[in-house]
Structure 1
């Protein structure tokens, strides 16, 4: 085992608002190593938290005074069925390595395989972490990540390895996907793959009122991926009402891959992010001009889902702004017919309260009928907001208040929000949007009675329930 005894301080990559002093860090390299780490934690009466690439910003990956398992060394491909399109990888594998493997892997058939969907914004996330948050991508007709998971192997609080699928240990399958690491360590994941295709990017700049029909037209025409990245300047009439609409259509395999180098470089992204803080209309204009220049570009269906994440980009911005800050992400869901109404209400709220929006996008999601704690309880429009947050008590609370107001706007329209980001929601909001949460906590108590797996995220919600005198729903 690799571990140190200096009580390290860890933090998340994106927001930098989850500084946590852990008891120790262990980086297991196999299932036996996971079991040994859990036994070590039991011997020393330590809770266990589980992290991957540390992009999660809701406190799920760290626990104060807990033993932290860093899963990134468990990153091998274990099995590849290129006839049926299934691949088993260790839970610490990250998306770039998986995509590269599938491009290079020898094949016994002419068919080439790759991923169906991945989360956007950054590539360096582990598969175990993506399963634990039940992520989603830009699919126009896709359910969350659970739909892509064939099976996984999980090490529980006793160190026992369980094989979980829809047929085998189905309750644990449904609890652990979207279970934020509270039921065990994801040792490996078996993914359902999709045929690798070439796809053409079609880009236009349209108004929000035209977006619902435009999404439907693209779906009817066979487009697979798409999103709408909206204007961010509250001083403009375009604010949240106009955006770059990009969708991807499968094309003939003979179509040439675009090698013109039109994609934004890391330096380009850094420049755009700085403009989004200082000259918002210019940022949107440059972004729109770039994407329009790539209209008609052809790329592989997996490569087009990859993106550049400029690590530490906020340091240069902090220097210009004169204070330390970062972006906090929130994701809201509304029935698709209420999208335009929701966006107009959000724009009014942001203007009234001076909310500093840096980036935002709209996608679609299909309902999740499988996970125990589904965030996509119906077919929704998904709205992602990145809000600039000064690293002061006032700045952090202002962002939390903004997200609580957005959640209320979503609830009023029959919508919901994603639990993965900041734990800003009130107890009432959690109960309204995630009605199975109390029962989820009770299953946690039943399946992990020693409370071995903990995180700051879990402790927050456990204490929120306790403080309100709420008792989780009794289990049958």
Structure 2
């Protein structure tokens, strides 16, 4: 009898311990972070499915129970745009089928959880390519639409230009068609709308033909960049893609640049020799020197010289369009207990670039504690179709990678510097990109996005119960 009681106690203890472990695991899974890891948020639940009916049921049940929903893809937006405390996180990554390819009209229809890498792998054998995507292809289409991305193509600017139509699951649980001709007001709100107007289900995107490009590289001074770009890139129809980098190394801080142009090759018959999609490879060396650049000025100087040397070796090489749109390194692949890496992106009219860099340099030379790792420069042509458009002019985009601590003190210190950088940007008729940590003030947001109040009013119109919520909206709509 005693043995039986002892055995029962042991079984009870094991079950209790197992239940507690499971509970801890569940609680840990409910705490979600974006890629910047500065804003952990505990959700009520995390739900994921590949079924449209189940997604619709989740929204309808949330409407009945007055629960909040946040929509997530790869969660690289860093300011709480995909999170809301106590809400349901709808993880869309399983909803990732490619539904139809119309080769003749160069259109593809996909579910919103599909990644750009998935699409590239699917369309590459057909000789087709994307018009617009980020340089890294790990992101979901729905997430990219929600932040209205741009890329390296200088003829196709922001993603909204390439969207033909999509279906949207709204706050009432209804599925509606959205295009420039049907529910057109929502078309301009959802793209660049940070998941606040509903769940993007499937999307029809415009494609273009894959091409063979010849690469040209050149080192220039920052004050030559605007004239170089205008004459050699913008006015040269053969140049289809372009990117540049400006040095953050102490020996050449915000003065030296190198440019990379991708021009249509004269012999397109050789395209087949270059169509195999490259993978993320040989990244150990650049990651090693990027690691050194986190630690010292010497490391930054070394990393810059290595980048320039690699760039020189690209001269006169050939690449397919699909491969140009695939990054060779993963800058955001960084894990540290004490530090993290965040992005900022500032847009400035091309004719103000030199004076802007001068003012930015003056500011940052006095802000030694800001650990800048990389600044990539791209071009984005004017497009104000999205209500939350960031390109009110033809602009250069500076994508800035910053290493910072996770402590409250470090967050506040970085925030103070970033707000100063944004003020400099706004003084040059520029703007900034929203998908990053909420360092900017509401006043800065309003100046950068003059249609901000219209955006918030439309949110109240289409979702008065605030079914779709995130911390970005809570922070700035007040």
TM-score by length of 2: 0.89
Alpha-carbon distance between aligned partners in 2 of 1:5 and 1:398, rounded to the nearest angstrom: 34
Counterpart position of 1:473: none
Unaligned runs of 5+ residues in structure 2 are 1-24
Q: How does 1:96-111 map to 2 (within 5 A)?
A: 96-104=117-125
Residue by residue over 1:144-184, the C-alpha shift from the partner in whole angstroms, topping out at 9 and shown as x without a partner, is 11001111111001111111111111001010000000000
Deviation at 1:54, TM superposition (A): 1.5
Q: How does 1:56-455 map to 2 (within 5 A)?
A: 56-104=77-125, 112-120=127-135, 122-216=136-230, 217-221=232-236, 222-233=238-249, 235-236=250-251, 238-251=252-265, 252-255=267-270, 257=273, 265-278=282-295, 279-308=299-328, 310=330, 313-315=333-335, 318=336, 324-354=338-368, 355-455=370-470
| Contact 2:280/2:327 (8 A) holds in 1 | no
Deviation at 1:43, TM superposition (A): 3.5
Alpha-carbon distance between aligned partners in 2 of 1:43 and 1:308, rounded to the nearest angstrom: 47
Secondary structure at the aligned position of 1:386 is classed as strand
Secondary structure at the aligned position of 2:450 is classed as coil
Residue by residue over 1:13-66, the C-alpha shift from the partner in whole angstroms, topping out at 9 and shown as x without a partner, is 3x2112111111111213212111112322333100000111111211111111
Counterpart position of 1:45: 66
Counterpart position of 2:54: 33
Alpha-carbon distance between aligned partners in 1 of 2:154 and 2:444, rounded to the nearest angstrom: 27
Alpha-carbon distance between aligned partners in 2 of 1:207 and 1:44, rounded to the nearest angstrom: 59
Residues 1:5 and 1:37: Cα distance change in structure 2 (over 3 Å): farther
Counterpart position of 1:469: none
Residues 1:396 and 1:309: Cα distance change in structure 2 (over 3 Å): farther
Deviation at 1:313, TM superposition (A): 4.0
Alpha-carbon distance between aligned partners in 2 of 1:209 and 1:72, rounded to the nearest angstrom: 43
Task: Write 1 or 2 for the structure with the bigger share of helix.
Answer: 2
Residues 1:285 and 1:419: Cα distance change in structure 2 (over 3 Å): same
| Contact 1:175/1:373 (8 A) holds in 2 | yes
| Contact 2:390/2:431 (8 A) holds in 1 | yes
Deviation at 1:308, TM superposition (A): 4.4
| Contact 1:335/1:379 (8 A) holds in 2 | yes
TM-score by length of 1: 0.89
Residue by residue over 1:335-386, the C-alpha shift from the partner in whole angstroms, topping out at 9 and shown as x without a partner, is 1111011111111211101121111011111111311111111111111211
Secondary structure at the aligned position of 2:261 is classed as strand
Secondary structure at the aligned position of 2:268 is classed as coil
Alpha-carbon distance between aligned partners in 1 of 2:279 and 2:193, rounded to the nearest angstrom: 39
| Contact 2:151/2:157 (8 A) holds in 1 | no
- Which of 84-93 and 429-438 deviates more? 429-438
Deviation at 1:311, TM superposition (A): 8.4
Deviation at 1:118, TM superposition (A): 0.8
Q: Aligned-residue CA RMSD in angstroms?
A: 2.0
Residue by residue over 1:399-446, the C-alpha shift from the partner in whole angstroms, topping out at 9 and shown as x without a partner, is 212221111111111111111212111122111111111111111011
Secondary structure at the aligned position of 2:165 is classed as strand
Aligned residues: 444
Residues 1:154 and 1:457: Cα distance change in structure 2 (over 3 Å): same
